[in-house]
Amino acid sequence: MSSPSIYGASRDGYGNALLRLAANPDVVVLEADLGKSTKSCHFRTKYPDRTISLGIAEQNMMLVAAGLASSGKIPFASTFAIFTERGFEQIRNGIARPGLNAHICGSHGGIHTGSDGSSAQSIEDLAIYRTLPNMTVIHPSDDLSAEELTMQLVNLDGPSYMRTVRNKVQRTYDEITKNNIKIGKGNVIMSGDDVAIVACGVMVSKSIEAAKILKEEGINVTVIDMHTIKPLDTELIDSISSKCKCIVTAEDHSVIGGLGSAISEHNSKTNLVPIEMIGVNDKFGESGDSEELFEIMNLTTVDILNAAKESMARK
């Protein structure tokens, strides 16, 4: 028997969760011609009567989801993260404003999409959906956390946006530790007193790598998987701010409006500690291999490591 894989793509976790959620007869899945890519295709194959394919019509898909939710169903609508933005007005007025229990999954998020090019790389989606009242915003780090968080969405009282990615990354969790994941609560992956690294999505695995290197240099690091960007786990942020006295944030997203901004906004009122933000610095991506793009955009393990040292120097 082969050993379990240590790698997984969050989009696969989303697809696996939909199959498990089929036990709830109110769950309905919506697609916009990209079910194979978002992994909702597995639900469609097994439950065609509970799947609605809208074609390349994202705005219509969002309003169909709103109608289903207002009728007591629990819709899960997916497309590429960049294409969810086409339906922003419908999400705002049709789903978020009335606080409907409709759940949007934006796959292939961030520059991790790589060769699809800058026009397909959503570097602003988390910021956009953070601004909407009633909206929960989630960015899982691997397939297991994506599956667990998607399972919890069915009991959420209100709408959500979850960003998933195409490529496999090293898993943050296993079949046991994934049970500690809860919407709205960050997870402490490593614990140390010198500096805290708070990350989401694919940047969690890179943050763990950076923390291990720093430990070899005698620097003890707390690593947080802040999978829920909104509502932010402010209690945990207060705790690590008090303990470590400096923070690094890491995200495959613009530094404007994302995880780093959310933490900075909170800490500006309560915890005046140095914060270094690793993210896309107010520019669009490029077309290329995802790891090469991470180097170009300064989103590597080394960048996180250096930011940790810089934040410590500012204490």
Q: What is the pLDDT of residues 177-233, one digit of tens each?
A: 999 999 999 999 999 999 999 999 999 999 999 999 999 999 999 999 999 999 999
**178 in a structural domain:** no
Contact call for residues 14 and 105 (beta carbons, < 8 A): yes
**19 in a structural domain:** yes
**73 in a structural domain:** yes
- Write out the residue range of the structural domain in which residue 122 sits: 7-170
pLDDT > 70? residue 254: yes
pLDDT > 70? residue 154: yes
Q: Which residue has the tokens 């909206």?
A: 135
Q: What is the mean pLDDT of residues 67-87?
A: 98
| Tally of domains within the chain | 2
- Residue numbers annotated as active site: 58
Q: Which pLDDT band holds residue 116 (cuts at 50, 70, 90)?
A: confident
**CATH classification of the domain holding 265:** 3.40.50.920
**148 and 119: one domain?**
yes
Per-residue pLDDT, 112: 82
Contact call for residues 24 and 154 (beta carbons, < 8 A): yes
Q: What is the pLDDT of residues 46-55, one digit of tens each?
A: 999 999 999 9
Percent residues over pLDDT 70 in the chain? 99
Per-residue pLDDT, 181: 98
**236 and 165: one domain?**
no
**2 in a structural domain:** no
Contact call for residues 130 and 229 (beta carbons, < 8 A): yes
**164 and 227: one domain?**
no
Q: Which pLDDT band holds residue 249 (cuts at 50, 70, 90)?
A: very high
**196 and 273: one domain?**
yes
What are the C-alpha distances in Å from 75 to residues 24, 27, 95, 104, 214?
11, 6, 11, 8, 44
**138 and 211: one domain?**
no
**283 and 163: one domain?**
no
**Domain termination residue (choose one: 170, 196, 229):** 170
Per-residue pLDDT, 2: 43
**284 in a structural domain:** yes
Q: What is the mean pLDDT of residues 140-148?
A: 98
**124 and 188: one domain?**
no
Per-residue pLDDT, 4: 57
Q: What is the pLDDT of residues 166-186, one digit of tens each?
A: 999 999 999 999 999 999 999
Q: What is the pLDDT of residues 233-248, one digit of tens each?
A: 999 999 999 999 999 9
pLDDT > 70? residue 1: no
DSSP element (H, E) containing 265: helix 259-270
**Domain termination residue (choose one: 170, 198, 224):** 170
DSSP element (H, E) containing 305: helix 301-313
Q: In what order do the strands lie in the sheet with 27-31?
A: 51-53, 27-31, 74-80, 103-107, 160-163, 136-138, 228-230
pLDDT > 60? residue 282: yes
Per-residue pLDDT, 114: 74
Q: Which pLDDT band holds residue 82 (cuts at 50, 70, 90)?
A: very high
**175 in a structural domain:** no
Structure tokens at 196: 């805290």
Residues 6+ apart with CB under 8 A from 304: 197, 203, 206, 207, 210, 248, 250, 278
Per-residue pLDDT, 271: 87
**110 and 71: one domain?**
yes
**CATH classification of the domain holding 139:** 3.40.50.970
**251 and 147: one domain?**
no
- Mean residue pLDDT across the chain: 96
Whole-number Å distance between alpha carbons of 8 and 152: 19
Q: What is the mean pLDDT of residues 301-313?
A: 98
Per-residue pLDDT, 260: 98
215 vs 5 pLDDT, higher one: 215
**271 and 152: one domain?**
no
Whole-number Å distance between alpha carbons of 115 and 130: 27
**237 in a structural domain:** yes
Whole-number Å distance between alpha carbons of 192 and 103: 36
**Domain termination residue (choose one: 170, 201, 218):** 170
What's the pTM value of the predicted model, to 2 decimals? 0.96
**152 and 262: one domain?**
no
**133 in a structural domain:** yes
Q: How many CB atoms lie within 10 A of CB 303?
A: 19
**50 and 112: one domain?**
yes
